[in-house]
Structure 1
Amino acid sequence: MSSTKAPVPPTQAEIQQIQDQLIKARDAFQVHETELQKLSASRSKLLTQLNENEMVKKEFDLLESEAKIYKLNGPVLFKQTKEEAENTITSRLDIINNNLKTIETNFKDIEKKAMEQRNKIFEYQNKIRSLTAPPPPQAQ
């Protein structure tokens, strides 16, 4: 005759502890999702700026070297050489591309953290389900 011990039911404190961990993981996941949304909006804005500046650069390539170029600074137009204007655009493109790289790196890091939190959420949910599920019927 073999003696099988019935599993010890979890205490309410154990279940509550797992629920608290689940809430913390959910809150962290939501923070990461908010950060991802902000980064996505920043990325969209930078991509728009990148496209605009690339179009300006293409327009400059079509101009003759002695073309008159004016820069709007507030309500005043300032005359610029083609070389100065091209340098300004090239500098802007470099800055935008560097910012995009930074955003992409941050996006991947936060996305990884969000996935880790999502996995923890599933893990805690499964633990709670298994602890609160009714025991299987005993075979006789």
Structure 2
Amino acid sequence: MAAIPAEIQKLQEELIKNRDSFQKLEQELQKLSANRSKLLTQLNENEMVKKEFDLLEVDAKIYKLNGPVLFKQTKDEAENTIAQRLNIINTNLKQVETNFKETEKKALDQRTKIFEIQNKIRAAVQPPQPKQQ
């Protein structure tokens, strides 16, 4: 009978370790989700700016705010800046999406391990049921 409590103790320690890992993965998913939302907001803002630039005349006066100073830019310079920003944002967004999917898979695997350990603990605690005929 002494083997069962030791086995249960070992399973409980393993359960706690896996639960802690799962919680860390959940926190990571929350951070990635917040980062994704921020990037999507930036993407939408920059796409709106690009659409506004498409409506401007070629010789339109465009100013860029840099700190407290406005600098004059050509339309081509401004469009190139926006294109570079969109490229960077899209690259970052793809990376966040990849990390999110990987972390989500790890969390799902961790959750499965937790359920398996919980089932082992239940089986170890409950005495075997006699078969009914």
Compute the TM-score of the two structures, normalised by the length of structure 2.
0.95
1:108 lines up with 2:101 in the alignment = yes
CA distance in 1, matches of 2:97, 2:86: 16
State the match for 1:17 in structure 2.
10
In structure 1, stretches of 5+ residues that fail to align are 1-7
Question: Residue 10 of structure 1 contacts residue 131 of structure 1 at CA under 8 Å; is this kept in 2?
Answer: no
How many residues align? The count is: 132
Question: How far did 1:88 drift?
Answer: 0.3
CA RMSD of aligned residues (A): 1.5
Question: How far did 1:69 drift?
Answer: 0.2
Question: How far did 1:11 drift?
Answer: 2.0
CA distance in 2, matches of 1:70, 1:79: 4
Amino acid at match of 1:111: E
CA distance in 1, matches of 2:53, 2:125: 69
Amino acid at match of 2:114: I
CA distance in 1, matches of 2:101, 2:40: 17
The structure with more radius of gyration: 1
Question: How far did 1:135 drift?
Answer: 3.1
Compute the TM-score of the two structures, normalised by the length of structure 1.
0.90
Question: How far did 1:9 drift?
Answer: 8.0
Question: How far did 1:136 drift?
Answer: 1.9
State the match for 2:117 in structure 1.
124
1:95 lines up with 2:91 in the alignment = no
State the match for 1:5 in structure 2.
none
CA distance in 2, matches of 1:33, 1:45: 19
1:74 lines up with 2:57 in the alignment = no
Structure ranking higher in helix proportion: 2
State the match for 2:21 in structure 1.
28
Secondary structure of residue in 2 paired with 1:78: strand
Identity %: 72
State the match for 1:4 in structure 2.
none
CA distance in 1, matches of 2:16, 2:80: 52
Question: How far did 1:137 drift?
Answer: 4.1
